[in-house]
Structure formats: C-alpha cells, structure tokens
Chain A
C-alpha cells in the first residue's frame, strides 16, 4: 500500500508535466499550420519513440531480478552472449538489489507511466476518428488510423534499438 502511494505521487507529478508538454506541443504544432490530427499523430509517435528508449534503458540498466518482460523478445536474444542481461545474478548484494528496485519503481513511475503515458493520448485520437466517420472523411480517417498505429509500432521498435545501444555502452 505504501508502494502504491509513493508511486501514485510520482505518477501524478510525471502526469502533470506530461499533460503540460502535450498541451504545449499541440498548440505550437497547430500554430505552425498542421491540422489537429497530424499534430496529435506527431506527438503520439514521438512519445512512442521515447517510451521505447526509456523502457529498454530502465529495464536493461536497473532491473536485476530477472523478471523483465523483455526477456523473451528476439531483440534481447543476441544480447545474452554479451553478458549485459543480468538474469539471476547470484553475486548481487541484497542492498544493491533493494536500491535498484526502488530506483526502477520511482523512475518508471515518473518517466514511463507518468510523463510518457500522459504525453501521448488515445482519447483525442478516438474522438477525431469518430468525427471523421461522422463527417465521412475517409482519407483523413485512414491516414489517422494506419499512420498512428503503424508508425507508433515502428517508433517503439526504433526506440528499443536505439536504447539498446545506450545499455550496451
């Protein structure tokens, strides 16, 4: 329960910053002349790229207890030989373990769940898609759906590959 409250404070702090960053980015992109759905797409794809970097960095450098969700991905298979993936490291002292877990929780709460989770948004994306359906704007609808989902997916991969080079350094 204490862990939940500490994480909540971190998530709320990161979320406030993320909402401000999204508001500022959307306003400036729309001032630059982009339509709203393109501006939102740019913001979402940037957030996806950043979450790829942040995730692989945090998981690779801080998570030491071998419970990572990334263990089964092909991207990490080649890394196992290079001795960076600290699965079940028996020499790790308990105190280090505790501090790594604490750092991981706080950083993941602020950066991933708070900031990047709030920086990107699904609700405006869904609302714009529903409005395009209502106005029969099929071209915009297709650009919005395929562009956001497809490029977001690719952006996460690009972030993971870039973040991997930080971790290997």
Chain B
C-alpha cells in the first residue's frame, strides 16, 4: 500500500543514493586512473551488500515490533520500519546501484576491450551475488546475538 509518506521516503532515499553514486564516480575520476566502469562496479557492489544486510535486519526489526509493545507503540514502530524499508532498500540502494549505466558500459567495452567486458559482466554478477549473500549472513549472525 503506497501512502504518500512512503512515496516521500522513496524519493528522498533515491535522491541521496543517486548523489552518492555520482560522488563515487567523481572521486574515482579525480583520484584514480582506473577506467570509468570501475566506479559503477564499486557502487553496485556496495549497494548489493547494503540491501542484503538491510533486508534481513529490517525484517527482524519488523518481527520484533509486531511481537512486543502496546497497540499504539506497535503501530508507530511498524510504520517507522516500513518507512525505513522504503527509504533504505527501495530508495537508497536502488539509487546507489544502477543497471542502465552498467549496460551502457558493456556496450562501450564490447568494442575491442573484451577482457574488461568479461571482468565487468562476470565480476558484477558473481561478486554482486556474493556481496548480497555476505550481507544477509552477517545480518543474520548480528541479529541472533
């Protein structure tokens, strides 16, 4: 159910995520001599880790809030956690990571730079899955302590 406040949190998280991705790009451009796709690769991997961690963490918080607390406190905290999910998972992680620039970089790399193209495609897909799994397992370990 999309309430107006949820939309605000999604838009805010998306703006912050997009600015973070832009800042990562600029820092990589100014500070390193790496090719341009590396910045997008790093942003994507960081986002995969955060979404894995945040999903397990906020789901556990939601379970805690539904079990404990009075009726009013419970409603408020449940609402807060839904807003947190909208801002962090849908907004921030979605804004920090991008698929369109990844594909655009693949198109550029496919003209002659096949080594980097292979590194970008397989590296992003495999390491992204590993980072998401790592985030989920770290959050599970952290929540169970």
Interface positions of A (Cβ within 8 A of B): 4, 7-8, 11-20, 22-24, 27, 44, 47-48, 50-52, 55, 69, 72-74, 109, 112-114, 116-127, 129-130, 133-134, 145, 148-149, 152-153, 155-157, 160
Contacts and interface: CB of A to CB of B under 8 A. Distances in A.
Interface string B85-124: 0100011011111111111101110111000000001001
Given A51-B104, A113-B25, A122-B97, 20 more contacts: A15-B14, A19-B94, A19-B95, A52-B104, A118-B94, A120-B99, A121-B97, A122-B99, A122-B124, A122-B128, A125-B128, A126-B97, A126-B128, A127-B48, A130-B52, A130-B133, A130-B136, A145-B125, A149-B125, A156-B106
B133 A134 contact: yes
B2 interface: yes
Contact of A127 (B17, B19, B112, B132): B132
Nearest 7 CB-CB pairs, A to B? A19-B14, A15-B18, A126-B128, A120-B99, A122-B97, A16-B11, A12-B15
28 contacts: A8-B22, A11-B18, A11-B22, A12-B15, A15-B19, A16-B14, A19-B11, A19-B18, A20-B10, A20-B14, A23-B10, A50-B100, A73-B111, A112-B101, A116-B101, A118-B18, A118-B94, A120-B98, A121-B97, A123-B48, A123-B94, A123-B97, A124-B51, A127-B51, A127-B132, A129-B125, A133-B133, A153-B103
